[in-house]
Structure 1
Amino acid sequence: MNNNIKLLENEAIDDLQLDNLYLIQKKSGFRFGVDAVLLSNFAKVKRSHRVVDLCSGTGIVPFLIYGKYKAKEIVGVEIQEDMVEMAGRSSRYNEVEEIIKFYQGDLKDIKFLNTLGKFDVLTVNPPYKLNNTGIINSEDKLAIARHEILCNLEDVIVASRKLLKDNGRMYMVHRPERLIDIFQLMRKHKIEPKRIQLVHPKVNKAPNIVLVEGQRDGGAYLKWEDPLYVHNEDGSYTKEINKIYGREL
């Protein structure tokens, strides 16, 4: 660890309990949740792969993917400058800055995307709420992370096609109510849906998370994974979730 990395006000270093990795994030405000953990577990990554994570936020998905799979290079792309700066400090703190790199940029900027090259695997936890209801502060960090203010679903999928190698794989976490939009836009931009998993808060509750894998220029075939349940009836985490978090073999 590089103990010379400075923390700003309202920041803490959190132990990811994975391969001795740590993440700098706010004590209050935007913090990673179960979505990021599920996405990194759902992705299929090899050591030889170049991986890019869009809408990277604090960089949690790149660090989880590195801890799980040891990909040779992982790039995080985030539009908010302070998030990129924080993620970069996490990379330096973990002394993996030559492997996990973060760039500030707009995924709608094709010239910027061209500078990144092509990737075997792309992950994304995009804003999932439509930006068409109520008054939303466009400067609010949480609003930017959750609402389609600075990019929408189609922007994400267009950028994904641009960044993926031929037959490269895209992994997305989103909300089940947007599933038709996801499939329609993926096929429109020639990323074929290949695998899907629904995540339920508990048994007998409707799913509130969906994980989708797509392949650039892939053939038409969709595999449904078994549903995943987050909590038991007593509120404790299920065996499957504890295994994903590394708490149970």
Structure 2
Amino acid sequence: MLEAPGPDETLDSIGTAGVRVLQRRSGYRFTLDAVLLAGFAASEGAGEGPVLELGAGSGVVAFLLARQLGRGPIDALELQPAVHARLVRGVALNGLEGRVRPLLGDLREARTLLSPGAYTLVVSNPPFRRSGGGVRSPDEERALSKEELACDAAAVVAAARHALAPGGGVSLVYPAARLTEVLGLLTAARLFPRALRLVHARVGSPATRFLVHSLRDSDRGLKVHPPLIVHGAGPGGYAPEVAALMDPPRSERHTPPG
């Protein structure tokens, strides 16, 4: 019998394929950014080959890619031992043994942890906030997940560059205010931006996030997609495109694995 959530944990469902995620009630909890990144990476990345997630957390992106979006196998690298332990349990809860492999380690040590050029796709929903850029959470897990205390954007880009096969792609999500910085880091590492999409909460509102997909050593020009609008008249108050990633129609709901 699969392990139930602990007293300080929740078991949450996400996506159209019955993905379940273990999270701490009082710790860092996944956001819509993870769902948007998974959908974007699946649409922009090559359709076959091994995938790497840098900073996998509880496994939302990896599980969505493997179970809902048909990608894999996936190596999911996570730094924090307690978070990695929930990731391991989540693999079993979702029946993804053999498709998602949890790895415990620091992405800043990618050259010793990961084989060079082993992946066709790398994805990351990394810490967004620069170190010292705001009030630090007293919860260490939340602080490491939200603030660049254990890695920064340059480290994420360097790890992706090491892990990607020639012509492979990396998909990232970051705050819109860091667009110039991140595109510059990618280009300097010869990870040439291929697709860019700005994320807006509502029509007419400023962009809050951007999604970018870059190719290793392949400068094929940049496609700027139409804006991605999050909220609208679709199910759950989401715009139809986002709602389609979040929840299946009632007639098509999957029974979670037990």
TM-score by length of 1: 0.90
- Counterpart amino acid of residue 80 in structure 1: Q
Contact 2:115-2:163 at 8 Å conserved across structures:
no
Q: Which has the higher helix share?
A: 2
User: Which structure's relative contact order is higher, taking Cα pairs within 8 Å and 6+ residues apart?
Assistant: 2
When residues 135 and 116 of structure 1 are mapped into structure 2, their CA distance, relative to the original with a 3 A threshold, is same
For residues 1-150 of structure 1, the aligned pairs below 5 Å read: 3-44=1-42, 45=45, 48-115=48-115, 118-134=118-134, 136=136, 140-150=140-150
- Counterpart amino acid of residue 65 in structure 2: I
SS in 1 for 2:136: coil
SS in 1 for 2:194: strand
SS in 1 for 2:51: strand
When residues 224 and 111 of structure 1 are mapped into structure 2, their CA distance, relative to the original with a 3 A threshold, is closer
- Counterpart amino acid of residue 8 in structure 1: G
Contact 2:14-2:247 at 8 Å conserved across structures:
no
Aligned length: 247
C-alpha deviation, 1:6, in angstroms: 4.3
Can you list the C-alpha shifts for 1:13-46, whole angstroms capped at 9, x where unaligned?
Answer: 2223532332212233211110000000001356
- Report which stretch shifted further, 233-242 or 165-174: 233-242
Structure 2 Cα separation of the partners of residues 65 and 29 of structure 1: 24
Provide the identity percentage. Answer: 27
1:177 matches 2:180: no
Structure 2 Cα separation of the partners of residues 150 and 192 of structure 1: 25
SS in 1 for 2:242: helix
Structure 2 Cα separation of the partners of residues 71 and 116 of structure 1: 20
What are the ranges of 5 or more consecutive residues in structure 1 without an aligned counterpart?
A: none
- Counterpart for residue 255 of structure 2: none
Structure 2 Cα separation of the partners of residues 13 and 179 of structure 1: 34
- Counterpart amino acid of residue 24 in structure 2: K
Contact 1:55-1:77 at 8 Å conserved across structures:
yes
Can you list the C-alpha shifts for 1:124-174, whole angstroms capped at 9, x where unaligned?
Answer: 001111113356368621111111110000000000000011110100011
Contact 1:13-1:23 at 8 Å conserved across structures:
yes
Contact 1:46-1:71 at 8 Å conserved across structures:
no
